[in-house]
Structures are given as structure tokens and as C-alpha cells.
Amino acid sequence: MTEENRKPTPEEKAKAAAEAMAKAKAAKEAKEAAAKAEAEVEAPAEASAETPSPSASKPISEMTPEEKAAAKKAAAAEAIAKAKAAKEAESQAEAPAPAASKPISEMTPEEKAAAKKAAAAEALAKAKAAKEAKEAAAQGSDAGAAGGDAETQAKAAAAAKAKAAAAAAAKAKAARDAAAQGGDSGDDADAKAKAAAAAKAKAAAAAAAKAKAAQAGGAGAAEADESQPKEPSKNQPYLDKYVARIKEAFGAEVIEASYINELAKEVPTLVIQNERWHDVALFLKEDEQLAFDYLSDLHGVDYEDRLEVYYHFYSYKNRQSLAVKVKTGREQSSVASVMDIWSGANWNERETYDLLGIYFPGHGDLRRILLPDDWVGHPLRKDYVQYDEEV
Amino acid sequence: MNQNILTTHAETSSETGIRTEEMLLNVGPQHPSTHGVFRLVVKIDGETIKEAIPVMGYLHRGTEKLAENLTYTQIIPYTDRMDYVSAMTNNYVLCHAVETMMGLEIPERAQYLRLIAMELNRVASHLVWWGTFLLDLGAMGPFLYAFRDREKILDLFNELCGARMTFNYMRIGGVKWDAPDGWIEKVKDFVAYMKKELPSYHQLVTGNEIFLSRIKGIGKFDQKTALDYSLSGVMLRSTGVKWDLRKDEPYCIYDRFDFDVPTGTDGDCTTRYHLRMEEIVQSLRILEQALEQFPSDGEVIGKVPRVIRPPAGETYVRIESPRGEIGCYIASQGKDKPWRLKFRRPSFTNLQILPKLLEGESISNMIAILGSIDIVLGEVDC
């Protein structure tokens, strides 16, 4: 920190930073547009590169005949589910207004988008193919939220549709390939010859069954729910309990979404309304049945159209975890501080402010913690451009 | 950084009528007892600390920002440099997060190698803590013993993965290298050696009266405070919370082994000292069992797609590092690079309580309290 060079005033710095940011944004947009154009061409190739069909990747050589039969059945069911998911994705993309599968009558437009996402997340856990479904849905909803005009939506829908179709085609192709090659395309040839032969035969059978099922899948979509009933998570009762308690105390509108996050060891996850967050947070700790006395983690994420603060709580009393997300806008972002409830939030909130520029009203000592006090900008924002005195 | 703090002065007079003056003392960032580049601005009145302001960030490398432009495998070496005293657990937490998202199966042999590496690292980490804690308190000798034995562990790691501290050993789906011939036997020898050696540590230090008078009843806090401040690991267990993620939310294959979770109730430096020493014993116990069960052959890395793309969504996992609860959050958009990566670092979180503990303390206890928290600055600053 020397004073040799004349230091630019904060205003100058901010101005320069803003300019740089705008530039970067423009460049990024251009890049994105180019990437989008490419994406459609790339999609099939990408999908086929990722092939290994789930059944072929299992250690089939060790399976008993009964297990084999079961696996076969499962593969068929999976294929049906996949086909269904693909179909759903298509229909969802075609009609951006979210599917009739959810009770959406009392939802606001923002909640609809959230619900759409949550639905997509669920689908994702159900079957691998639902990944495409979510991407398509997310693409649709993102475009809808950002642009809002019909043209963008239609474009996104078309893109999503094309993508889903391409993915389905790629999958069918992969299945055919797997059948032809015996399914060990990506594997190293370490396995013993005997086991490999067995695996090949099995994989071929499974792949064939899958391909067959995929053909029939379109018609059999209705069956999918019966043949693969969604097993409720072991944490579902807890989630229901939390939702019920909070609804009781604050009304239904404070919970923007609630779901089991399958990717994070099935942790019950709530999205809480920003304005009421501090009250709900206090309730989470004070309520006898919830009693989340431990804040494990707190940090922010920049999703470009919004910022989110992610909390992971634990209740030592009830031995239960809970994840909470609170959303805020990118401009004038603020989320109520919970430092007065959990002292451990202090430095985490400072870090989040430092790196992402989220304000925590009520904190009282919201200074930078990792970066120097005179740093310009918040580096973990996606549009961050480093301020350079030379420029 | 906080230059204004150093230029302010205040005058007070104590109850005794002797005129004293508040003074600002700058400890660090280059101070051996801060175990790295940590700075404390301490406002003292005589020898009593009125206020302590931690200043950090000197080792901030922006790991989380860098990670957004790296593939998952490329991030692994960066985790080595966070908690460089226990890099294996850092390796693991990242791999574990990605594997949780992708639902990958880890081969048996890899699981055992991971576990053995992590437990060996826990022992090494506690040895470093033991040596440096006593060094902080003015005892030079123990440090030499601790580093002699830790060196043996580092040699074992060197054979296993070619590095002594920044291992870069684990991969998504398994580990990079299989154990070389005879390595397991060497680890067995080490465990037997360490078990034999440990009593001499106690003989050398634990009963020492000067030592005890420096740590007994110092840096005390209760269970409620510990939970309020999000403390974890030994800091939490020293107040009587029986909580160890290896036991309570088992990951890897920890549920297969028989071990105890030592807890204390006093919440002071002495308790923390004893708990860490006891944890070494428990780690050796786990190691013994793991080495006994170690599978004679098998893969060390599972079937993993060539390009690692976790499904879109987010995950948060936490495991027990020697310093406490280390967590890893990943927000993925289905790409080969994370959209957002965040590490919950136990050193950072545990350090938060320091200003509270130091308030009203004598300056001579400051180093003992800081040492008993057991921080690694690479992890605090990330």
C-alpha cells in the first residue's frame, strides 16, 4: 500500500470498473450467442460421448440369473421413464406455461418459475434422462425470466425441443452401438476374458431390451409411474414437518419452494421469502420441534439473474439437517443478517459480502474480510472484471 | 488494511488509581505463533486484553474463483493448498461432493486406501499441532519428537503418491496410485511404532506442572457458545457434544470400524489437548483394523466417465477433518466445471470465537488460546 502514485479516487475507480464490466458483458453476450449456435450441432456428439448405459456399467459379471432378469426389467423400466421424461421435456418446452401437473392456480409468476424448476429437479432424480428434461426446462424458464418477450421464448422452446429430440436420438444410437459392441466401448480391457464375455452378452441383452423398450416407450409412458414408483425419501416426513410448522406460524407464502435435494444426501431444502427470512430464521432456531441450533455453512451463489444465499443448518437436538435458500436481486442485493441468531454467521456473512457483494442488513460490522479494504468489486460475481490501475 | 486502528489512542485509568494507557499491539502477520500469516491487532491495558481484532486474507488466493475455470480433476491440487497440514481430507471432501452428485461407486480397495491415507494424515496433523502448540508455550523439545514421527508418515505418503504435503492423491471415483509393494506392511510397522511411542509423549509433557498451569482453565467456553459460534471438531467436543461426522454421518467406510469419540466437558485448553492426544490413539485403532481388512487386490479407481459432468443442481457434503467439519458445496449446471464451489473451512469458522475468548484475558494466555484452536492459515484464507 504505497502512496507513490496518485491513487484514483473511489469514484474514478467505480467508473472504470463499471465500464470494464459493461465491456465484458457485451463480449460475453456475443460469445454466448455463438456458443448457442454451435450447441445444436454439438449436442448429439456430446451425448453419444457420454454413453455408457447405466446397466452396462454395473458389475454384471457377478450377477446371478435372477438378478440379471431383474436388471433387464429395470433397464426396460428406465427406458420407459427416459422416454417419458424426454416427452415431458418436449411438451414443457412447447408450452412454456408450466405443465398442468402442478397445482399452480394460486401461484404468482415468480413462483411458477420456481415450481417449474423444482419439478424439473424431481424428474432429474427419477431417471438419468431427466437431466435433459431439466436443462430444457431451465433453458425455457431462464429465457422467459430474462427476456419475457414471446420471440425469445419461442426460440428457447424450439431449441429445447431440438435438443431433447437430439438427445433421444443419440441415446437410441448409443443403445444400438452398445448392442453391437457388447457395451464395453469406454472400458479398459483389464477384466478377465471370461468375465468380459459374460458382461458383453449381458450388456448386449440389456441394451437390446432397452432399445426395444425405447421404441415402445412412447406408447407406454402411462405405465412408467406404475412400473417405477417413486420411492419417497427417508427425509420426506421431516420436510413435511418443517413445512407444516412454518406454514402454521407464518402462512404458506413464506415458503417459495420446498423439496428433497437428492444430490445432497437427500437434505430437506426450503426456499424462503426474502422479506420474512429473519423471522423464519429465528423460528427455525427457537421452535421446539425444529431447534436448528447449529449453522454449518452460509455462502452466496451468483446465478446471473439473481443471487442466492445458501444456509446449511443442523439440529443437534433432533439430529437433522436442513438447507435453506434465500433469493435476492443482483442490484441492491440484501438478505437479512442472522448473526444475532447464530453468532457463527458473522464471518461467513462478511465473506459473502466481500466476495459476492450481498448486503446483510443488521450485521453491524459488515467489512471485507479476505480482500483488502480498498478492493474494487466483488470477485465471485459472474460479471466481475478486475480493476486495474493501469487501464 | 485497517491502518486507522493503529493510529488511534485512548487513555483510561484503572480502578486502582494508577494511570494506565491503552495500547495497540500488532501481532503478526509474520509471527511464528500465528502459524502462518495471521494478524491480530490487540488493544491492551497493561497486560489485559481489551479487544482483539483479527485481520486475515494475507494468504487468500481466490481458490473458489479459480475453481470456476477448472475442471473438477484440476481443482484437486488446489485443495491440497488449503489445509496443507491435512491435505488428504481436503482431497476427499471435493471428490466426495462430486461423487455424491454423480452417484459413483468407489471400489473397495480405493476406499481403504483413502481411509488409510486420511487417518495417517490425521495423526500427522495432530502431531504438528502437538509440536507447535508446545513450541508456542516455550517448549522446544517436544517439537523435535513430533516432527521426527511425523516425518515417518510423510515418508509413507511420499512412497504412496510422490509428495510429502501436497498430495494430489485422490481422484473422482477412487485414488490415483495403488499402494506400492510392501507399503501396507510399512504402515503396519508405523502404527505399531507410534503406539509404542505415544506414552513417551505423555511422559515428556502431559504431567508437566508448568505446562498445566499455562493451559488449565484457559480459553474456556461452554456448549451453548460452541454451538452458537458454529464450532466443530475438538473445539465442539471439548464442551461435551459427542459429535464426530465419521461416526454420526458416516462417509467413506468409517461405519465398518470400531472407535470411540472422545469428549470432554471443561471446554478449556487442557481438554482440547487431551482430546487431540486421544484422537491419535483412536486413529491408530482405525488404522489397525483397516490394515487388517485391506483387500489383497482390486481396482483403485471406479468406472468414471472420461469427462466429469455432475448433473445440474447443488450439493453440500461435510466430513471430519482433523480441525473440524470441512464442507464442500458445489453448484453445477451440468458442465465439466463447477458453477460455484465453496469450501466450509473449519479453521475459518473456529477462529471466529477468538476475539470473544481473548477479551479480558492476560496477554500471556493469548498464544495458548490461539494455539489450542488449531488453525491452518491456508484454510482460513482459502
Q: What is the pLDDT of residues A330-376, one digit of tens each?
A: 888 999 999 999 999 999 999 999 999 999 999 988 999 999 988 98
Mutate to test the interface with B, among A297, A315, A325, A350 (most CBs of B within 10 A): A297
Question: What does B106-155 look like in DSSP terms, one character per residue?
Answer: --HHHHHHHHHHHHHHHHHHHHHHHHHHHHHTT--HHHHHHHHHHHHHHH
B305 closest CB neighbour out of A52, A138, A310: A52
Q: Which of A5-19, A101-115, B285-299, B354-368 has the lowest mean pLDDT?
A: A101-115
Find the residue in B nearest to A354 (Cα): B57
Predicted pLDDT at B124: 95
Give me the residues paired with residue B148 across strands.
none
Residues of A in Cβ contact (< 8 Å) with B334: 131, 135
Q: List Cβ neighbours of B117 (8 Å cut-off, separation of 6 or more).
A: B88, B157, B160, B167, B169, B170, B175
Is 80 exceeded by the pLDDT of residue B103?
Answer: yes
Is 50 exceeded by the pLDDT of residue A218?
Answer: no
Q: Are A297 and A310 in contact (CB under 8 A)?
A: yes
* Contact assignment for B56 to A370 by CB distance below 8 Å: yes
A297 closest CB neighbour out of B299, B313, B344: B344
Under the banding of pLDDT at 50, 70 and 90, the label for residue A262 is confident
Predicted pLDDT at B354: 93
Query: Residue range B158-171: average pLDDT?
Result: 92
Complex ipTM: 0.89
Mutate to test the interface with B, among A299, A301, A319, A352 (most CBs of B within 10 A): A299
B65 touches chain A (CB under 8 A): yes
A301 closest CB neighbour out of B312, B313, B340: B340
Q: Tell which residue, A306, A305, A342, A346, has the closest CA to residue A326.
A: A306
* Contact assignment for B342 to A297 by CB distance below 8 Å: yes
> Cell numbers at residue B278, please?
486421544
Chain B: closest CA distance from residue A301 (Å): 7
Summarised one tens digit per residue, pLDDT across range B308-334 is: 999 999 999 999 999 999 999 999 999
Q: Are A358 and B44 in contact (CB under 8 A)?
A: no
Summarised one tens digit per residue, pLDDT across range A65-119 is: 555 555 555 555 565 555 555 555 545 544 444 444 444 444 555 555 555 555 5
Predicted pLDDT at A161: 52
Interface of B with A in 307-366 (CB under 8 A): 307, 309-318, 325, 327, 329, 331, 334, 339-340, 342, 344, 348-349, 351-352
Query: Residue range A34-52: average pLDDT?
Result: 47
A263 closest CB neighbour out of B230, B315, B344: B315
Predicted pLDDT at B33: 76
Q: Which of the 8 DSSP states describes residue B230? A: T
Q: Which of the 8 DSSP states describes residue A359? A: B
Q: List Cβ neighbours of A383 (8 Å cut-off, separation of 6 or more).
A: A21, A24, A25, A28, A304
Is 90 exceeded by the pLDDT of residue B199?
Answer: yes
Query: Residue range A27-33: average pLDDT?
Result: 62
Question: What string of H, E and C letters represents the secondary structure of B320-346?
Answer: EECCEEEEEEEEECCCCCCCEEEEECH
Domains and CATH numbers, chain B: 3-55 (no CATH), 63-381 (1.10.645.10)
| CA distance linking residue B47 with residue B25, whole number of Å | 11
Tell me the percentage of chain B whose pLDDT exceeds 90: 76
Residues of B in Cβ contact (< 8 Å) with A371: 57, 60
Question: Is residue A66 exposed (0-12), middle (13-18) or buried (19+ Cβ within 10 Å)?
Answer: exposed
Predicted pLDDT at A65: 53
B313 closest CB neighbour out of A57, A121, A299: A121
Q: Which of A127-131, B114-118, B343-347 has the lowest mean pLDDT?
A: A127-131
Where does A95-223 have alpha helices with state H? Answer: 109-126, 130-146, 150-181, 193-217
Chain B: closest CA distance from residue A291 (Å): 12
Q: Are B326 and B179 in contact (CB under 8 A)?
A: no
Q: Which of the 8 DSSP states describes residue A218? A: T
Q: List Cβ neighbours of B72 (8 Å cut-off, separation of 6 or more).
A: B94, B98, B172, B308, B310, B336, B337, B338
A26 C-beta neighbours (distance < 10 Å), count: 10
Chain B: closest CA distance from residue A80 (Å): 20
Is 50 exceeded by the pLDDT of residue A210?
Answer: no
Give me the residues paired with residue A164 across strands.
none
Under the banding of pLDDT at 50, 70 and 90, the label for residue A233 is confident
Residues, chain A: 391
Q: Which of the 8 DSSP states describes residue A371? A: S
Strand B10-13, strand B19-27: pairing: antiparallel
In chain A, what are the domain boundaries?
50-227, 236-356
Q: Are B324 and B346 in contact (CB under 8 A)?
A: yes
Coil, helix or strand for A170? helix
Q: Is the peptide bond before B310 cis (omega within 30 degrees of 0)?
A: no
> Cell numbers at residue B259, please?
472407535
Q: Which of the 8 DSSP states describes residue A334? A: B
* Contact assignment for A1 to B314 by CB distance below 8 Å: no
Identity of residue B80? D
Find the residue in B nearest to A324 (Cα): B316
* Contact assignment for B312 to A124 by CB distance below 8 Å: yes
CATH no., domain A236-356: 3.30.460.80
Query: Residue range B85-114: average pLDDT?
Result: 93
Under the banding of pLDDT at 50, 70 and 90, the label for residue B132 is very high
Q: Tell which residue, A282, A314, A280, A304, has the closest CA to residue A382.
A: A304
B381 touches chain A (CB under 8 A): yes
Query: Residue range A144-165: average pLDDT?
Result: 48
Q: Which of A251-265, A345-359, B142-156 has the lowest mean pLDDT?
A: A251-265
Q: b or e along B259-273 (b: 16 or more beta carbons within 10 Å of the residue's beta carbon)?
A: bebbbbebbbbbbbb
Radius of gyration of the CA atoms of chain A, in A: 25
* Contact assignment for B325 to A263 by CB distance below 8 Å: no
Mutate to test the interface with B, among A347, A349, A368, A373 (most CBs of B within 10 A): A347
Predicted pLDDT at A80: 58
* Distances A353 to A113, A361, B133 between C-alpha atoms, Å: 27, 11, 33
> Cell numbers at residue A93, please?
418446452
Tell me the percentage of chain B whose pLDDT exceeds 70: 96
Mutate to test the interface with A, among B38, B100, B230 (most CBs of A within 10 A): B230
* Contact assignment for A263 to B314 by CB distance below 8 Å: yes
Q: Which of A120-124, B6-10, B23-27 has the lowest mean pLDDT?
A: B6-10
End-to-end CA distance of chain A: 19
> Cell numbers at residue A218, please?
412412447
Helices A150-181 and A130-146: crossing angle in degrees, nearest 10, is 170
